Structure 1
Amino acid sequence: MLKLFQYNWQVRDDWFKWCESVSEEELLKERAGGVGSILYTLFHIIDVEYSWILELKGEPCPEEPPFESYASLAKVKEFSRMCHQEIEPFVISWTSEMEHQILSETDSSGKTICFKYGEIMRHVIAHEIHHIGQLSVWSRELGRSPVTANLIRRGLFDE
């Protein structure tokens, strides 16, 4: 589990570097498909990861901050750094015993929904990978090469 989170964090940082050579206008431009713009997609990835893991930690989940307060590359990178700093210890401390712990939520109709911790962790991983694929499509639409999605050659399994 940890290696896939580390993979996502590396790829996210690579996308931040990729964004440095793209105009802010292009980063904020509304795109077809996905959740909106390139920058908002990165913000969304971070917010979803942060919110779910806070819930798993048993901490109150703040409302999604307004994107307008983070609508620059520097601010999204800082948001990522702050969230990462808070959730990384939980991800590092993950154990197989946590897999089947239950998180209960009440949906808008008042119905209780239960999720296993392992299911949520894998959802967070897959969620980011899904949106990274969208960023790759948009980068090609801009005539640019996307960040590599390869898991290998990232040094994640070097001892």
Structure 2
Amino acid sequence: MQQILLQQYRLVLSARSALFDYCKTLKPEDSLKPLPAFNNESILSQLIHVANCYLFWLSKTAMQQLRPFFNNEEHQDIPSVIQVFDKVDIMMHEFLHYFSGSLEQQRLITRPDGRQLTRSPFEIFTHVITHEFHHKGQVVSMSRQLGYTPVDTDVVRE
């Protein structure tokens, strides 16, 4: 199953690369512009949020590793965000290696608010990639609100 998840993550990387290539064409000030329709978040803050979701679920929650969250103020342009996602990719490979023999085994997880839930590494993997695609759609929509015409950033694209 680990090989299948690696293949699936490669598809995520391809779609992410298309999004980042598109984001490089945006004016830097537009990437930082808070949009009221998106809770005054910016394109870059959405992307950092996605990276922090990977960090929270893969590293902190599943592997119980202490790593600092990525800070919006330190990542004010697309090249910096791309570097953040290079670290996310390393985390994903560590995660898949860490759980290579137990991807479907249920584990007790304690959330920061103290609530507990039971999830498998496979479910966590699925959560973080679908969460990324949700926010990828928001980033594309945000750029449209800023007057841009987005490119196709889906997994299956021409």
TM-score interval for Structure 1 and Structure 2 normalised by the shorter chain: 0.7 to 0.9
Give the 3-state SS of the residue equivalent to 2:117 in structure 1: strand
Paired residues in the alignment total 153
Whole-angstrom distance in 1 between the partners of 2:39 and 2:104: 30
Shift in Å, 1:131: 0.5
Q: 2:63 aligns with which of 28, 53, 58?
A: 58
127-136 or 61-70, which moves further after superposition?
61-70
Q: What amino acid sits opposite 1:71 in the alignment?
A: Q
Residue 3 of structure 1 aligns to a residue whose secondary structure is helix
| Per-residue deviation, 1:56 | 5.9
* Alpha-carbon separation, structure 2, partners of 1:132 and 1:35: 16
- In structure 2, runs of 5+ residues without a counterpart are none
Question: Counterparts of 1:56-95 in structure 2 under 5 Å?
Answer: 58-91=63-96, 95=100
**Residue 45 of structure 1: which of 43, 50, 53 is its match?**
50
- The percent of aligned pairs where both chains have the same amino acid is 25
Q: Secondary structure at the match of 2:119?
A: strand
| Shift, 1:81, TM fit | 1.2
Measure the CA separation in 2 of the matches of 1:20 and 1:149.
13
Deviates more, 1:60-69 or 1:86-95: 86-95
2:134 corresponds to 1:130? yes
Structure 1 contact 50–87 (Cα < 8 Å) conserved: no
Q: TM-score, normalised by structure 1?
A: 0.78
Whether 2:22 is the aligned partner of 1:10: answer no
- 1:142 and 1:29 map into 2 onto residues whose CA distance is 9
Do 1:51 and 1:61's aligned partners in 2 also have CA atoms closer than 8 Å? no
Q: Which runs of 5+ in 1 are unaligned?
A: 155-159
Q: Post-superposition shift, 1:140?
A: 2.1
Structure 1 SS opposite 2:118 = strand
Match of 1:25 in 2: 29
User: What displacement does 1:57 show?
Assistant: 5.5
Is the alpha carbon distance of 1:88 and 1:30 closer, same or farther for their aligned partners in structure 2, counting shifts above 3 Å? same
Q: TM-score, normalised by structure 2?
A: 0.79
Tell me what 1:157 maps to. none
* 1:104 maps to amino acid: I
Q: What CA distance in whole angstroms lies between the structure 1 residues aligned with 2:46 and 2:111?
A: 26
Shift of 1:43: 1.4
Q: Is the 8 A contact 1:34 1:134 kept in 2?
A: no
SS at match of 2:134: helix
